[in-house]
Amino acid sequence: MTHTVLVTGGTGFLGSYVAEDLVTAGHEVVAYDRSTDDRILSKLGVADEVTVRRGDVSEATDVLRAVRETGATHIIHLAALLTDTARENPRSALRVNVLGTNNVLEAARTLDDQVERVAWASSAAVYATPDNYTGPVDERELVYPDTLYGGTKTYNEHQARVYHEEYGVSQVGLRPTVAYGPYRETGGSAFLANIVEKPALGEPFSVEYGDQVIDWQHARDIAQAFRRAAFTPDAELDQRVYNVRGELATVREAAETVRSILPAADLDVSDEGELPWTQNLDVSAAQADLGYRVEYDLRTGFRSYIDTLREAHGLEPV
């Protein structure tokens, strides 16, 4: 069955991949964003099949009007200020991340005869630093963010729960880590992209954190997780917030994977530095309830990424 899905932040990096996934699944997609630049949607080949609507999630009336006028039956809410931008603009982060999420939930409550589900982006940033955990971290573990961004996501989990329990809004939050894939232009994890992008174009790159484990999660895997969160029936859900994860590998193992695809890759890896992110997430609940399965392992994801970059620069695929 075809549904109309409003994707907030829908012209951004992850939003464009979510739109691509939804179009492929046969749904009508409205990308709701302050930016109407459909460049990433075009590169993914779906710009002609996605309606782009300019809007601001921090404006309650605008959100309500957009949901009503598009006839959206499902909302995937991704719009947010990310970690570094939130740190630099704390009041804007609260307005966009917290009030914006409230506006989406309130639109769903007000239009409860129209909107069937809100799937929205929480984040692994709600967790404390890695030294607070032993083994895989499930959704019941300590939530104690050390960034304002993580704090906004933690609050959103509370307000989403209240909207579900008090007002009957059907909602599912996801806690992804960091997405990788072609066309990412913002975020605080550029070194992850450069491990792939620099060698793909024949450029040298040096990276720290060699012995530290990263969750390498392709944007298309996160996109399919959001589609599943938007459409899995309520009766099949045992909880309302889920971890989602890709493939765990150290930075050195990732570099070795790149070298296996590009033997001439000039990558220098050191063990200096320490990453503050909790990456080892237990995804058994998402697998059981949402049917989530990783489709892009490290080699598959990296090869696809490399070939996309090389094609864009007029180079032969590997």
What residue ranges do the domains of the chain occupy? 4-178+217-243, 180-214+246-275+295-312
What are the angstrom distances between the C-alpha of 79 and each of 144, 187, 189? 22, 13, 18
Query: Which residue has 């990433």 as its token pair?
Result: 40
CA 71 to chain centre: 24
pLDDT tens digits for range 52-94: 999 999 999 999 999 999 999 999 999 999 999 999 999 999 9
Q: Given 3-state DSSP classes, what are the helix, strand and coil percentages for the chain, each rounded to the nearest 5?
A: 45, 15, 35
CA–CA separation, 116 vs 168, rounded Å?
Answer: 10
Pick 4-178+217-243's CATH classification: 3.40.50.360, 3.10.20.600, 3.30.1330.10, 3.40.50.720: 3.40.50.720
Taking the alpha carbons at both ends of the chain, their separation in whole angstroms is 38
* CB neighbours of residue 142 within 10 Å: 11
Please state the rounded mean pLDDT for residues 275-285: 94
- Three-state SS for 272? coil
Grade residue 35 by pLDDT with cuts at 50, 70 and 90: very high
Kindly compute the dihedral angle of the four CA atoms of residues 91, 17, 229, 59, in this order, to the nearest 10 degrees. Answer: 30
pLDDT tens digits for range 164-199: 999 999 999 999 998 999 998 765 567 788 999 999
Q: Do domains 4-178+217-243 and 180-214+246-275+295-312 have the same CATH topology?
A: no
Record: fold of 180-214+246-275+295-312: UDP-galactose 4-epimerase; domain 1 (3.90.25)
The pair of structure tokens assigned to 92 is 């804007």
Query: In which element (H, E) is residue 109 found?
Result: helix 100-110
| Entry pTM | 0.97
CA–CA separation, 257 vs 303, rounded Å?
Answer: 9
